Amino acid sequence: MEYKEAKDKFINTWGSLGSLWGINKAMAQIQSLLFISTKPLSMEEIMEELHISRGNTSMNIRQLIDWGIVTKELIPGERKEFFTTEKDVQELARIVAKERSRREIKPVIKVLEEVSTIKDDGTEKTRELIKQTKALHDLAATADSMLNKMVNQKQNWITKSILKFVK
Amino acid sequence: MEYKEAKDKFINTWGSLGSLWGINKAMAQIQSLLFISTKPLSMEEIMEELHISRGNTSMNIRQLIDWGIVTKELIPGERKEFFTTEKDVQELARIVAKERSRREIKPVIKVLEEVSTIKDDGTEKTRELIKQTKALHDLAATADSMLNKMVNQKQNWITKSILKFVK
DNA sequence: ATAAATTTTCAGTAATTACTGAAAATTTAG
DNA sequence: CTAAATTTTCAGTAATTACTGAAAATTTAT
């Protein structure tokens, strides 16, 4: 497999995985492109490379900046803006986990909390609702907390002792 | 908050979280409904409760069965089919993690493997592609393996020592 | 076997989400 | 300042995804 093919394959596959980390395709592809680029890229270069419109590029870059994954790079003597992405996978994972937690998981946990603390009127169905949402709440809260803690261990959290620990 | 309101809130919130575990809204809502039901439900009951069509209900139940989250329940003397979902959150988490891994993460890891092992032609861009996809591959592979292992610890993996361990 | 009950399928439609492209806004250079 | 370069916005459109409803298929009872 040659460079070009490998590159396209990477961008497409990683891009399609966007759903897994909760962002859209174009966004994921722009990030992918920057991730394997050896230098900052301009909007022009990005739209050409991915065959997407100027508007689309602009909107998605902004979102990536909101996420804290991409940053503007000022290049002396250049009028255009250039962009780079966080290159360290660990740090990337940290940011993504944190954002998803904040945007999606935390709000759900809050609702589970609310629902699981309604007044027990003694009926079977209310009891079941309380019991099950409480169980989900505990699972979600603990998983969320774990995820954040793991991903915050700046030093190669993943390669070291945890794996050993979970057997 | 009364039972009805709490129930609807739960079904909607949990349903909208479907995207997070990679299934669509109707599917997530059906599962939610079964999850807090005190008895198996028929297709009829599900479609009425959620205001969705017969076809939609049928298709999504099938998918839930494919995922291994919902099972048909035969009720003596009843002609209709009834359905239940796995009620244990731990087990539910195990199934979901395993399925997502199989359907989405594993295939991506495979591509990352392929891309990161192309021949190094010595150019800077090829080197960068190899370096970065290798890093992603390692991250994804390790995270996937961890997730599966954690979730496979049948005994309350989450509430016990891991949290303590990760500080 | 026949027929009623029930489920599945799927073509058509609706709803949602993503994308384009050009006009408007902003920035930069002279 | 003016004008060129660049970016942003957003109404309109395209693409994707989800849903309906009725016909076809299947199951069950007699």
* A46 and A68 together in one domain: yes
pLDDT higher than threshold 70 for residue B83: yes
How many domains would you assign to chain A?
A: 2
Last residue of a domain, one of B49, B66, B85: B85
| ipTM score of complex | 0.86
Q: Residue B14 burial (CB < 10 Å; 0-12/13-18/19+)?
A: buried
User: Do B23 and B59 meet the contact criterion of CB atoms below 8 Å apart?
Assistant: no
- What residues form DSSP beta bridges with A84? A71
Under the banding of pLDDT at 50, 70 and 90, the label for residue B44 is: very high
* A8 and A68 together in one domain: yes
Provide the mean pLDDT of chain A.
Answer: 90
Taking residues B92-103, report their average pLDDT: 89
* B102 and B66 together in one domain: no
* B19 and B71 together in one domain: yes
Which member of A35, A158, A159 has the closest CB to residue B132?
A35
Last residue of a domain, one of A23, A54, A85: A85
Q: Is A59 on the interface with B (CB under 8 A)?
A: no
Find the residue closest to C8 using CA and C1' atoms. Answer: B58
What's the CA dihedral at B86, B89, B95, B99 to 10 degrees? 120
The whole domain housing B14 covers 3-85
- What residues form DSSP beta bridges with B72? B83
pLDDT at position A62 is 97
| Percent of chain A residues topping a pLDDT of 70 | 91
Structure tokens at B87: 């009620």
| Percent of chain B residues topping a pLDDT of 90 | 68
Alpha helices (runs of H) in A17-160, residue ranges in sequence order: 18-21, 25-35, 43-50, 54-67, 89-100, 106-116, 124-152
Residue A54 (CA) to nucleotide C21 (C1'), in angstroms, measures 8
* A113 and A159 together in one domain: yes
Encode pLDDT of A71-128 as tens digits.
Answer: 999 999 999 999 999 999 999 989 988 988 998 889 999 999 999 999 999 999 999 9
Which member of B87, B105, B129 has the closest CB to residue A10?
B129
Structure tokens at B92: 């539910």
Across the interface, do A129 and B10 touch by the CB < 8 Å criterion?
Answer: yes
Residue A11 (CA) to nucleotide D5 (C1'), in angstroms, measures 30
pLDDT higher than threshold 80 for residue A129: yes
pLDDT at position B167 is 42
Measure CA of the first residue to CA of the last residue in chain A; give whole Å: 36
Own/partner pairs, A77-82, CB within 8 angstroms, 24+ separation: A78/A42, A80/A42, A80/A43, A80/A44, A81/A42, A81/A43, A82/A40, A82/A41, A82/A42
Lowest mean pLDDT among A155-159, B52-56, B93-97, B120-124: A155-159
Taking residues A139-161, report their average pLDDT: 73
Find the residue closest to C6 using CA and C1' atoms. Answer: B80
Report the distance separating Cα A152 and Cα A149, nearest Å. 5
Taking residues A5-11, report their average pLDDT: 96
* A7 and A76 together in one domain: yes
Structure tokens at A119: 């007044």
Encode pLDDT of A49-63 as tens digits.
Answer: 999 999 999 999 999
pLDDT at position B155 is 56
pLDDT at position B143 is 87
Encode pLDDT of B106-163 as tens digits.
Answer: 999 999 999 999 999 999 999 999 999 999 999 999 888 888 887 776 655 555 545 4
pLDDT at position A74 is 92
Query: Within its chain, how far is the Cα of A40 from the centroid?
Result: 21
pLDDT higher than threshold 90 for residue B19: no
Across the interface, do B158 and A142 touch by the CB < 8 Å criterion?
Answer: yes
Across the interface, do B129 and A93 touch by the CB < 8 Å criterion?
Answer: no
Encode pLDDT of B104-118 as tens digits.
Answer: 889 999 999 999 999
* B132 and B71 together in one domain: no
Shortest Cα–Cα distance, B102 to chain A (Å): 13
Rg of chain B on CA atoms, in Å: 21
CATH code (residue A33): 1.10.10.10
Report the distance separating Cα B94 and Cα B151, nearest Å. 5
Residue B163 (CA) to nucleotide D17 (C1'), in angstroms, measures 39
* A77 and A22 together in one domain: yes
Last residue of a domain, one of B53, B85, B117: B85
Verify if strand D has an atom below 7 Å from the CB of A149.
no
Burial track A116-153 (b if 16+ CB lie within 10 A, e otherwise): bebeeeeeeebebbbebbbbbbbbbbbbbbbbbbbbeb
Which member of B133, B136, B163 has the closest CB to residue A142?
B163
Under the banding of pLDDT at 50, 70 and 90, the label for residue A166 is: very low
* B18 and B32 together in one domain: yes
pLDDT higher than threshold 50 for residue A35: yes
pLDDT at position B133 is 96
| Longest CA span, chain B | 73
User: Do A1 and B118 meet the contact criterion of CB atoms below 8 Å apart?
Assistant: yes
* A74 and A127 together in one domain: no
* A66 and A102 together in one domain: no
pLDDT higher than threshold 60 for residue A157: no
pLDDT higher than threshold 50 for residue B166: no
* B45 and B58 together in one domain: yes
Number of A to B CB contacts under 8 A, please give it: 154
Across the interface, do B123 and A3 touch by the CB < 8 Å criterion?
Answer: yes
B39 to chain A: nearest residue by CA?
A125
Across the interface, do A38 and B159 touch by the CB < 8 Å criterion?
Answer: no
Across the interface, do A7 and B129 touch by the CB < 8 Å criterion?
Answer: yes
